[in-house]
C-alpha cells in the first residue's frame, strides 16, 4: 500500500530475505501469484452478463422510457430513469437473488445473503467495483495469499448482507460492494498492525480514503446499499486483525529494480487507477 522504508527493507533482507524485516525468511521464497481476485472479477462479470440476458429489456413493457443501447438487443439496459447505473430492472435482480428482507425473514430464503454478493446493479457499478477490487485485492493477495484474502472477501460480503437485511426493509439491494469494502477494512487494520514499516503513512491513508469515498458515492444510487458497505467494512476490519498479522515475505521484491523505481512505478499505477475511477464518476454525474 505504502512504500516500505528502504532502510528497514534492507535490514530485513540482510536478516533473512524478508522485505518487511519481520524476522527470518527463506531467501528463495517467491511472491504469491494473484489468481483468486482475478477469478472473482471474472465471476462477477459473468454474473452481470447473465443478469442482462435474463433481463431482456426489449421484451418488457417500458413505462420509464425506451431501453438504453438498443443495438445490444436483449443485453440492452433499462431506461436511465429506472436504473441510472445502466443495468437490469429490480424484478430481474430480485429473480436472481438480490437482498430482500421480507423474503429472507418470512419465506426462509436465507440463500439471498450469499447470492447478493455476486450481483451488480449496473454496468457503472460493475466497472467501478472491479477496478477497485483489482486495485486493492491483487496487492493483498500477493502479500497475504489467496486463502486469507478469499476468507475476508466472502465473509465480509456475508456480513454486509446481514447488516443490510437488518436495516433495509423496504427495497431490494445487491451486496457485491460489501465484499469489496471488507478488503478496504482489512487494509485499514493491516495498516494499523504494520504501522511501523510504512514510511509514507499519510499517502497510504489518503489512498484508502479516496477509494472508500468513491464507492460510498456509488452507494447513493438505486439498488446499491451503503449499509452493506458499512457491514462489509466492519467485518473486514475485524478479520484483518486476525488474519493479516504477518505479511508473506518477498511479495514486493523486484531484484531488477532499485527501491526508488519500485516506489515510483507503484504509485503511478495507483494514481492512474484512481483517475480512471474518478473519471467514471464524473461521467455518471
281-to-49, 262, 277 alpha-carbon distances in Å: 22, 29, 6
Beta bridge partners of 198: 4
What is the DSSP secondary structure assignment for residue 58, as one 8-state letter?
Answer: G
Return d(Cα 49, Cα 8) in angstroms, integer.
47
How remote is the C-alpha of 243 from its chain's centroid? 18
Residues with catalytic roles:
177, 229
CA-based angle 79:81:86, to the nearest 5?
50
Return d(Cα 3, Cα 23) in angstroms, integer.
19
Residue by residue, DSSP assigns 172-198 as: -BB-HHHHHHHHHHHHHHHHHHTGGGB
Amino acid at each position: 500500500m505504502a512504500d516500505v522504508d528502504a532502510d528497514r527493507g534492507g535490514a530485513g533482507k540482510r536478516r533473512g530475505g524478508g522485505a518487511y524485516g519481520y524476522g527470518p525468511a527463506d531467501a528463495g521464497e517467491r511472491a504469491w501469484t494473484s489468481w483468486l481476485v482475478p477469478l472473482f472479477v471474472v465471476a462477477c462479470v459473468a454474473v452481470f452478463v447473465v443478469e442482462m440476458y435474463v433481463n431482456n429489456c426489449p421484451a418488457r413493457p417500458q413505462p420509464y422510457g425506451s431501453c438504453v443501447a438498443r443495438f445490444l438487443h436483449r443485453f440492452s439496459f433499462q431506461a436511465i430513469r429506472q436504473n441510472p447505473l445502466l443495468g437490469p430492472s429490480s424484478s430481474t435482480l430480485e429473480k436472481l437473488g438480490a437482498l430482500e428482507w421480507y423474503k429472507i425473514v418470512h419465506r426462509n430464503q436465507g440463500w439471498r445473503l450469499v447470492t447478493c454478493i455476486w450481483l451488480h446493479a449496473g454496468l457503472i457499478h460493475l466497472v467501478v467495483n472491479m477496478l477497485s477490487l483489482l486495485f486493492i485485492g491483487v496487492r493483498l493477495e500477493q502479500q497475504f495469499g489467496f486463502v486469507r484474502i478469499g476468507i475476508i472477501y466472502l465473509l465480509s460480503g456475508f456480513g454486509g448482507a446481514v447488516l443490510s437485511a437488518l436495516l433495509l426493509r423496504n427495497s431490494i439491494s445487491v451486496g457485491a460492494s460489501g465484499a469489496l469494502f471488507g478488503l478496504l477494512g482489512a487494509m485499514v487494520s493491516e495498516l494499523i498492525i504494520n504501522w511501523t514499516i510504512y514510511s509514507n503513512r499519510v499517502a497510504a491513508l489518503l489512498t484508502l480514503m479516496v477509494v472508500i469515498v468513491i464507492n460510498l458515492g456509488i452507494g447513493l444510487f438505486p439498488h446499491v446499499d451503503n449499509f452493506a458497505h458499512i457491514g462489509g467494512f466492519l467485518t473486514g476490519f475485524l478479520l484483518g486483525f486476525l488474519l493479516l498479522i504477518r505479511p508473506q515475505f518477498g511479495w514486493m521484491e523486484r531484484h531488477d529494480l532499485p527501491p526508488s523505481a519500485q516506489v515510483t512505478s507503484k504509485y503511478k499505477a495507483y494514481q492512474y487507477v484512481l483517475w480512471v475511477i474518478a473519471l467514471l464518476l464524473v461521467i455518471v454525474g
